[in-house]
Amino acid sequence: MTSPLMTLVGVNKSFAGQHVLQNIDLQLNHSEITTLIGPNGAGKSTLIRIVLGLLQPDSGSVICGANLNIGYMPQKLHIDPTLPISTCRFLQLANTSHQACHSALESVGIGHLATTPVQKLSGGEMQRALLARAILRKPNLLVLDEPVQGVDINGQNALYKMIADLSQSLNCAVLMVSHDLHIVMSATDQVICLNHHICCQGRPEKVTQDPAYLDIFGQTAIYAHHHDHQHSVHGEVLDANGVHRHGEGCDNG
């Protein structure tokens, strides 16, 4: 059995006497997508910084697997509009070869934009460029902070599918922060609901039934999977407009 890439055991972190993270246990595994959800101020960014090694916990353990190699995609990145830099050159700032940058851009579907000024990229194209930069060194752990921010619904679906494909092709773990509950539940293996402590965690269909999840996100949160319909948190079948299909169920819910 393959060892976890990273394990957090009993991690605690406080700032100015305020508990931000309390007794966090977390395991990240090869080819598994873990999505971190929770309200604003729940400690998600602090947890990400601990995973990245930018912060040390006050107590608890962070156990890294052998040959851990992390790729990181920030929530957003401001680039001075007057800076004359192409998309490929932007990737090369990570100290990698021209060929490696082209290959990474091709793998996220924007190889044709290699010479385009990075400031001229659309929101979705910029997110793909940031994803390309994150996979340059072929990481075995990919940390993504709100990877579809500022992207339209079709672009969100495409990006989530691409992330899943990259997880498999690179055999890497993915830790992803997201607020897009209606989409992300069908694009993840494990969900962790955080509110300073882990309120609930597990498969999406399990988490969305948990009282702690419902207490935070409410009864209107919907879990969708790969069918021509959606599910309410109570398991009712909904059509594309969120309307209950009376008398219908789903064998795979």
- 158-191 residue pLDDT tens: 888 999 999 999 999 999 998 777 777 778 999 9
Residue 109, burial from CB neighbour count under 10 angstroms (0-12, 13-18, 19+): middle
With respect to residue 211, please indicate whether it lies within any of the assigned structural domains.
Answer: no
Q: Specify the pLDDT at position 136.
A: 93
CA-to-CA distance for 120 and 125, rounded, in angstroms? 9
With respect to residue 241, please indicate whether it lies within any of the assigned structural domains.
Answer: no
CA-to-CA distance for 101 and 99, rounded, in angstroms? 5
118 contact partners, CB below 8 Å, separation of at least 6 = 79, 85, 86, 87, 90, 126, 129
Judgement on whether residues 119 and 24 belong to the same structural domain of the protein: no
With respect to residue 210, please indicate whether it lies within any of the assigned structural domains.
Answer: no
With respect to residue 235, please indicate whether it lies within any of the assigned structural domains.
Answer: no
With respect to residue 247, please indicate whether it lies within any of the assigned structural domains.
Answer: no
With respect to residue 93, please indicate whether it lies within any of the assigned structural domains.
Answer: yes
Judgement on whether residues 47 and 87 belong to the same structural domain of the protein: no
Tell me the residue type at 207.
Answer: V
Judgement on whether residues 53 and 10 belong to the same structural domain of the protein: yes
| Alpha carbon of residue 54 to chain centroid | 18
Average pLDDT of adjacent 10-residue blocks, the chain of 253 residues: 89 95 95 92 95 96 93 87 91 88 94 94 91 93 90 84 91 89 80 94 89 80 45 41 44 39
For residues 57 and 11, the answer to whether their CB atoms sit within 8 Å is yes
Please list the residues that pair with 72 across neighbouring strands: 143
Judgement on whether residues 21 and 43 belong to the same structural domain of the protein: yes
Question: Structural domain tally of the chain?
Answer: 2
Judgement on whether residues 121 and 6 belong to the same structural domain of the protein: no
Tokens (6 digits) for 148: 């579809």
Report the relative pairing of strands 197-202 and 70-73 from DSSP bridges.
Answer: unpaired
Q: Specify the pLDDT at position 1.
A: 60
Judgement on whether residues 189 and 167 belong to the same structural domain of the protein: yes
Q: Specify the pLDDT at position 185.
A: 76
Q: What's the CATH code of the domain at 36?
A: 3.40.50.300
Query: pTM to 2 decimals?
Result: 0.81
206 contact partners, CB below 8 Å, separation of at least 6 = none
Q: Specify the pLDDT at position 2.
A: 76
What range defines the domain where residue 152 resides? 1-69+140-197
Q: Specify the pLDDT at position 178.
A: 87
Judgement on whether residues 169 and 63 belong to the same structural domain of the protein: yes
Judgement on whether residues 23 and 131 belong to the same structural domain of the protein: no
Q: Specify the pLDDT at position 113.
A: 96
Judgement on whether residues 55 and 93 belong to the same structural domain of the protein: no
Judgement on whether residues 164 and 149 belong to the same structural domain of the protein: yes
Q: Specify the pLDDT at position 56.
A: 96
In the listed set 148, 179, 197, which residue is the last one of a domain according to the structure? 197
For residues 245 and 239, the answer to whether their CB atoms sit within 8 Å is yes
